[in-house]
Amino acid sequence: MTIERAGKDAAPGDAAAPNQETVAGGPGDGAAASSDGGLGGAEAEPVAPVAARGPFQGGAPRLWLLSTLLLFVELALIRWTAANNVHVGTIPNFVLLASFLGIGLGFLLAGSRFDLLRPAPVVLGVLVAFCLVFPAQLKSLRGPNPFTGFAGLPALPQQVSLPIVFALSAIVLAGIGQGMARVFSTFRPLDAYRIDILGSICGIVLFSLLSLLGLPPAIWGVLAAAGLLAVIIRKSWWHYLAAAAIVAMLIAESLSPNDTWSPYYKITTVHHQATNSLSVWGNGIPYQTLYPLPLLHRLEPFYFFPYRHVSKAHLSQVLVIGAGTGNDVGVALSQGARHIDAVEIDPKLVNLGRRYNPEHAYQSPRVTVHVDDGRAFLENSSRKYTLIIYALPDSLTALGGQSAPVGLENYLLTENALESARQHLASGGTFVMYNYYQPFLLARYATTVTQVFGHRPCVELGDSLSGRQQAVLTVNRSSPATNCATYWHGRAVAPVTDDRPFPYLPTPSIPGIYLWIIGLVFAASLISVRVVAGPLKAVGRYFDLFWMGAAFLLLESKSVVQFALLFGTTWYVNSLVFGGVLVSVYLAVELARHVRLPRPLILYAALVVTLAVAWIVPNSSLLALPAVPRFLAATAMAFAPIFLANLVFAQRFADVAASTTAFGANLLGAIAGGLLEYISLITGFRFLLIVVAVLYGLAMVFGRRHLGAATAES
């Protein structure tokens, strides 16, 4: 069973999306892979306990540190690689799947003579150097080579850079995973599992704390390098050299005067003294430019279009969602807004606005700043507004040119979200959204506005940019917008819903680049496992654990998505969810250690019941509840099946004959689950519950001989 641990992308910043962090925890029982590294057809030989040579060289402290280090490095790689390579950031689960593969191979090689942990610092250093020497950033939307690398040179093609990042990430995690597997096998199963979960919780807390403080990668590198040195038993001079190189490279990156690190992005800024403007990039993608009002009038006049349709009498209460560095807030103040609620999810952008905004918009007594997810703010507020502005909330994705289906703002752009915005409009209030839209996106949002408000929006077009049209959509709550020259009259494109919040996909489908990634990961997994494990007969003995791993990853992904909808796609919501998952796992393990569990069939039946309840009660129905009841209901619906699934897993895993082989099978299942998650791009997230039920059904079928043994024991 796989324990998912945060983080879209999502990196904690790449929250909108199924870009998550997962590490499987599985206990050992004193048996591991054979000494030649192959699994063969017979049960593997036990691995001797590791001789203690220091505080973290043996026993529970070593297992705890390895588990903490495993999660921390995985989270750091997901955040950091996406910040330096835009191609990584646009593919959900990319580094996560590499981590699964690496950890799984590490467990399958637990008894190998070759120590994968020893070269791990060198491989990590090579990965850091590769990403810094061969970055991929979007510098221009024009021309045949929009992506640039080091010193303005063309970036490596994604067909070259992505496999290298995948392979190096997998090798690093394989080393830590192998070290962890060798300690696992010296413990009783549930004792090892318990220590692993405690270490995982520490890893979540540590990385969340770094995100809260906005600390740069230099700190991440120091902790990762120190952790690796602490767990390597026989260190040589080149281990210290590799660790020093990792820290030195990340310090050099962190000292860049133009870069800051938010919980979501690597934010790069360039201040133009001549025009008193500020250009902002997020993870290597042009994000926004902060202009003085006169320059904004001349270069970006669409900011002022909405006020053609709103009188000053209707500017008493204004809501700006996606306030960024304050352009939109400054414009609203200049037009006579008497009070503005400015909502921005990224605290670093707010800080940049306070420092560089020429109009000092965020210092105005008429402005209240809210660092929050826009959809969550709407759901938790009862205030009525005379003007609501969606201020380029999807700018990072739209300007990226990647057609990425996931993002921090996805739940803000669904039909359900616009209905929530309409309900927050006062009588005679006006709703506005603007951005640079691809043609199908403009049609989709115009169609959504028409369906929600009951009449066509006013559409005003501005400049074109690389196939995108600058457009402003304006609609009144109860009537068409006044003073409008052109109302929308284009073709209808189906809106997106909360269950399938992928506005950037023209149709329900899996993009070609994702299919390429799925094929790459599947082939790499199959070949690697075949080379490492030999005939798959040994892994096949634990095929039920394989299906459990696949099912549990999807179950956790569904839980993350559910909480993102109900409470926002912020980094701290994701951290709390993943922490809650680990606490649920820990409680299940403690229960299994101290209480005789019911028969497996009873546990499976209870699990199916909780999945059925989650299917019958849609997430959207919980949005109508106040915050506290909504949290309690969401917690019960999300964590009940997770808790029961862990009871099923603990009961099965407690008596496996070869713990590292079984754990490897479980991790390979997690890879399958990560690939199956792409189905949601077609079906929506709710359908994943059916897939989860089917996968647990397969686990029950393939583990039927173990069910009989467990029933007899019970």
Q: Determine the pLDDT at residue 261.
A: 93
- One-letter amino acid at 97 equals L
- The lowest-confidence range among 186-200, 272-286, 370-384, 690-704 is 186-200
Question: What is the distance between the alpha carbons of residues 704 and 143, in angstroms, rounded to a whole number?
Answer: 59
For residue range 241-295, what is the model confidence (pLDDT) as tens digits? Answer: 999 999 999 999 999 999 999 988 899 999 998 889 999 988 888 888 999 999 9
**Positive or negative torsion for Cα 656, 659, 664, 667:** positive
Q: What is the pLDDT of residue 264?
A: 87
Highest mean pLDDT pick, 496-510, 566-580, 686-700: 686-700
Domains of the chain: 2-8+58-138+159-254+506-713 (1.20.1250), 290-407+415-476 (3.40.50.150)
Residue 27's pLDDT band, with cuts at 50, 70 and 90, is very low
Average pLDDT over residues 227-249: 95
CA distances from 401 to 139, 279, 286, 333, 392 (A): 12, 18, 11, 32, 15
pLDDT > 90? residue 71: yes
Question: What was the pLDDT predicted at 449?
Answer: 96
Per-residue pLDDT, 378: 93
Residue 707 has pLDDT above 90, yes or no: no
| pLDDT score recorded for residue 153 | 83
Mean pLDDT (whole number) for 573-578: 82
- pLDDT computed for residue 332 by the predictor: 96
Residue 21 has pLDDT above 60, yes or no: no
- pLDDT of 45 over the 90 cut: no
Least confident range of 283-292, 380-389, 530-539, 611-620:
530-539
Enter the tokens of residue 307: 């006020």
Residue-wise pLDDT for 312-337, tens only, equals 888 999 999 999 999 999 999 999 99
Question: Burial, 427: exposed, middle or buried (Cβ in 10 Å; 0-12, 13-18, 19+)?
Answer: exposed
**Predicted confidence (pLDDT) at residue 493 exceeds the cutoff of 90:** yes
Q: How confident is residue 681, by pLDDT bands cut at 50, 70 and 90?
A: very high
Quote the CA–CA distance of 154 and 46 in Å, as a whole number. Answer: 51
**pLDDT band per the 50, 70, 90 thresholds, residue 35:** very low
Give residue 142's pLDDT band: very low, low, confident or very high (50, 70, 90): low
Q: Average pLDDT of the chain?
A: 84
Provide mean pLDDT across the span 367-371.
96
pLDDT at 511: 87
At residue 17, does pLDDT exceed 80? no
Mean pLDDT confidence for 526-547: 77
Sheet holding 259-261, edge to edge: 259-261, 266-272, 277-282, 285-290
The confidence score (pLDDT) of residue 656 equals 73
According to the model, what pLDDT value does residue 52 have?
A: 41
Q: Which amino acid is at 293?
A: L
Structure tokens at 78: 């997901």
Please say whether the beta carbons of 309 and 475 come within 8 A. no
Residue 503 pLDDT more than 70? yes
What percentage of the chain exceeds 90 in pLDDT?
A: 51
Q: pTM here?
A: 0.86
Closest Cα partner for 89 from 281, 257, 247, 223? 281
Distance CA 333, CA 413 (A): 25
pLDDT recorded at residue 28: 33
Mean pLDDT score, 207-233: 93
Average pLDDT over residues 349-373: 95
* pLDDT for the residue 8: 32
pLDDT at 25 over 70: no
Q: Coil, helix or strand for 268? A: strand
pLDDT at 466 over 90: no
Residue 425 is predicted with a pLDDT of: 96
Q: Point out the least confidently predicted range of 38-42, 239-243, 291-295, 297-301.
A: 38-42
Among the listed ranges 49-58, 143-152, 250-259, 333-342, which one has the minimum average pLDDT value?
A: 49-58
- Is the distance from CB of 449 to CB of 495 less than 8 angstroms? no
Cα–Cα distance measured from residue 573 to residue 552, given in angstroms and rounded to the nearest whole number = 20
**Cβ–Cβ under 8 Å, residues 266 and 282:** yes
